[in-house]
Structure 1
Amino acid sequence: MELLESLIGKMMASKMLVHLSFCLSFVAVFSLAVILSGNHDVVVAAMISCLYILSCTYVGRWYGKSWITRSVVPTSLFRSVLIFLVLVLGSAAGAAYMFKGDVGRYFLQNLFICFPISVLFIFFGIAIALARHAVWMQVSQAETAQKHKESELQLLLSQLSPHFLFNTLNNIYGISLTQQQRVPQLLLKLSELLRYSVYETREEFIPLQNELLYLKNYIDFEKIQNGARLLLELAIEEHQEDRIRIAPMLLIVFVENAFKYSKATRKPNMWIAIALQVREGWVIFTIKNSFEPGGREQLSLEEPSGIGLHHTLKRLNLIYGNEYFYNAQKENGTYHVELRLKAR
């Protein structure tokens, strides 16, 4: 059994064996149809006709491949014309001999029949070669585009982690100057966050529950930093199953921005409301935060601090295409972001 499987595998790997198997199968099926119809006298003629049709088709396929590779030089052009003449004249002579038994008398009559048939199947072979090349080019371009997309996504994702780490270490440094007792807890939470961003975000899509756990760890981290000043409203649906999947490290950027800009005010309290639900195959994420009107724009993509949001929007376009909705607006001291993602 293993020997047979090995033989079949080698045959499939060899293009010549595949083409030979196809030709033999074509001739066998056509001849069998003639035998079953009761025309036993023309079985040999039918087999030769099949071989003639296949020869014309493969010659046309060779013509097409030569044209695609631009290898039509005077030598190969002469060879092409010679092959065509041999094919047409040989088929005309063969048909006169097989069907009439007199080549000299019926050669010209069969030539007028074989010439258009030869041209037809040669053009059919050329069409096959061109169509196959067109499909191969489309597949090749799609693979190249996919590899480019994956490399760009990996680059964007690799830049998000240092950006997040930079912001977080700045916050810890500020707290260490005035509230040293909070630093150990913050470092412990930071290690959990970094473990996720380094080891669990290598897949293009991850279970939604994993991303939500990461968000909760980050929110706990911010609770430790901001203490009683933080007024937080959470309405996040629990999803234990793995069938709902989203791209990693998308939601955290919006949560991080909300904390960043709500705390950068002179108000005694900072307010943030986060909600997430899944409806009809869509992950609906909304976040609102207080901010100080007239301060630095929260949706600033030009300055270095906006790298996380800029890369996230770029990742959304690359991963989801038309299968996401993003809207950000500010009104009466409240910044509101709505993001809808098609669940995978």
Structure 2
Amino acid sequence: MSMNASMNKSFFGKNLYFYLAVIGGGLLFAPIDAYVSSVGIHADEAVAVAVSVFFVLAVFAGRYIMQVWSASLNSLPKVFLAVAGLLILFSGVWLFFHARFSLGRRTGILFFVPMMLLGLAAGALVKVVHAVTENQLLAAKSEAAQNKSELHLLQSQLSPHFLFNTLNNLYGLSLTDHQKLPPLLLKLAELLRYSVYDVSALYVPLASEMAYLRNYIEFERIRIGEKLVLTTDLEDMVDAEVMIAPMLLIVFLENAFKHSKNTADQQIFVHVSLKTWENSILFTVKNTYGNEETSSNSLDDRSSGFGLHNVNKRLEMLYPDTHELQVSKDEKFYKVALQLKTQYE
């Protein structure tokens, strides 16, 4: 790379900046020429050209001086803003004063100095603001990429977690009620097909997620049998454009069946509801639970599950300040109510 090309890249920056400076210098010529004439400088046109070039070079010099320091800035320094602002204000006021009151032979010097300060301060200010804006944008992109990667990791962990729990249930049935295994295995295949192949996106149609919930409810109905007292209120007509994070609701439903089976009652009660209205989705699950399960039903208890910890993190990342999760229980029932702001395709 030649020296000229290197200077063009380091001092003037991108070629576009150089061309814009030429245009800007041309536009500055007229007001500077009028100013030079007003202060009584001879050969005003030549001086105006020199001042225009001088001012543009001062702007680029200010940018060049700030290059290294501004490279690591993520916010605008208050002291720098104050100093640059005062320099620009002082230079502007002085030039106005200078135009009104001629100071004889010192006119030229007292004109070029504030022009230089004005150009340096303006160039430095532009460079710092531009650098901070670029750094903040890069930081935001990096954080978004990291969050997206973490979301995909959390999402990918759900399928093995679900499969592990389900296989445990099937193993128990193979010892006590093996006749239920064939239909359960068919349902399991449908559930795994969705969780493995159909949920690679961050959001999926709510209708698809509801079909997945219905399949899981049917799976549990077959597994538990007549002991289960199940009521569902799942909305049938859902707008095809309404989206939701995949496998977000299944965790609460899975826990409802998991903990309800530990009740000492002869029957297991589970109620599931999902409704949409205006810009909200409301999902509720209510189930019986055993007294010995009081601690393990806590959303904050690690032993109750990886799944609940996972879903809480996903809610924070995908629905920041747009979700409300309420957990309540009495002596017999445990209830989860989740309200989400509707996402659209």
Taking structure 2 as the reference length, what is the TM-score of the superposition? 0.77
- 1:296 positional shift: 4.6
In structure 1, C-alpha distance between the alignment counterparts of 2:27 and 2:107, rounded to whole Å: 29
Mark the CA change 1:239 to 1:27 in structure 2 (over 3 Å): closer, same or farther.
farther
| Contact 1:301/1:307, CA 8 A, preserved across alignment | no
Match of 2:271 among 273, 294, 298: 273
Q: Distance in 2 between matches of 1:66 and 1:159?
A: 43
Which stretch shifts more, 16-25 or 274-283? 16-25
3-state SS, counterpart of residue 181 of structure 1: helix
The aligned residue for residue 228 of structure 1 is 226
Structure 1 stretch 274-283 or stretch 146-155: which is displaced more? 146-155
Aligned counterpart, 2:193 = 195
CA displacement, residues 163-210 of structure 1 (integer Å, 9 cap, x when unaligned)? 111110011111112222211111111111111111222211111111
1:57 deviation in Å? 0.7
Question: Distance in 1 between the 2:46 and 2:245 partners?
Answer: 63
Determine if the alignment matches structure 1 residue 177 to structure 2 residue 175.
Answer: yes
Greater mean deviation of Cα atoms: 209-218 or 156-165: 156-165
- What is the aligned-residue identity percentage? 35
Given that 1:244 and 1:343 are in contact with CA atoms closer than 8 Å, whether structure 2 keeps it comes out as yes
Aligned to 2:311: 312
Alignment of 1:82-101 (within 5 A): none
Q: Which amino acid aligns with 2:229?
A: L
**Secondary structure class of the residue paired with 1:276:** strand
**Which position in structure 2 is the counterpart of 1:254?**
252
Q: 1:116 aligns with which of 114, 117, 121?
A: 114
Which residue in 1 is equivalent to 2:239? 241
Shift of 1:300: 5.5
Matched-pair contact (CA < 8 Å) for 1:231–1:270: yes
Q: What is the CA–CA distance in structure 2 between the aligned matches of 1:272 and 1:197, rounded to whole Å?
A: 23
What letter corresponds to residue 184 of structure 2 in structure 1? L
1:316 Cα deviation (Å)?
A: 0.9
The answer to whether the 8 Å contact 1:299/1:306 transfers is: no
Residues 45 and 112 of structure 1: CA distance in aligned 2, closer, same or farther (over 3 Å): closer
Q: Deviations over 1:224-280 (max 9, x none)?
A: 111222111111113443321111111000000011111222322111111111122
**What TM-score comes out, normalization by structure 1 length?**
0.77
Secondary structure of 2:284 counterpart: strand
**Is the alpha carbon distance of 1:65 and 1:170 closer, same or farther for their aligned partners in structure 2, counting shifts above 3 Å?**
same
SS at match of 2:293: coil
In the aligned structure 1, how far is the partner of 2:300 from the partner of 2:68?
A: 52
> Structure 1 counterpart of 2:136, which letter?
Q
Q: Is the 8 A contact 1:182 1:224 kept in 2?
A: yes
Q: Secondary structure at the match of 1:328?
A: strand
Shift of 1:17: 2.5
Deviations 1:122-156 (A, max 9, x none): 01111111111211221122122222222222222
Conserved 8 A contact 1:196-1:214: yes
CA distance in 2, matches of 1:128, 1:20: 15
How far apart are 1:29 and its partner, in Å? 4.6
Code of the residue aligned with 1:218 in structure 2: it is Y
Match among 33, 45, 51 for residue 53 of structure 2: 51
Task: Report the alpha carbon displacement of residue 214 of structure 1 after superposing the two structures with TM.
Answer: 0.8
Bigger mean CA offset, 299-308 vs 183-192? 299-308
Deviation at 1:291, TM superposition (A): 1.3
* Helix, strand or coil at the partner of 1:332: coil
- Check if 1:340 corresponds to 2:339: yes
How far is the alpha carbon of 1:303 from its aligned partner?
Answer: 4.1
- Could you list the runs of 5+ residues in structure 2 that have no partner in the other structure? 1-11, 38-42, 73-103
Q: Quick one: which amino acid aligns to residue 52 of structure 2? A: C
Q: Give the structure 2 partner of residue 324 of structure 1.
A: 323
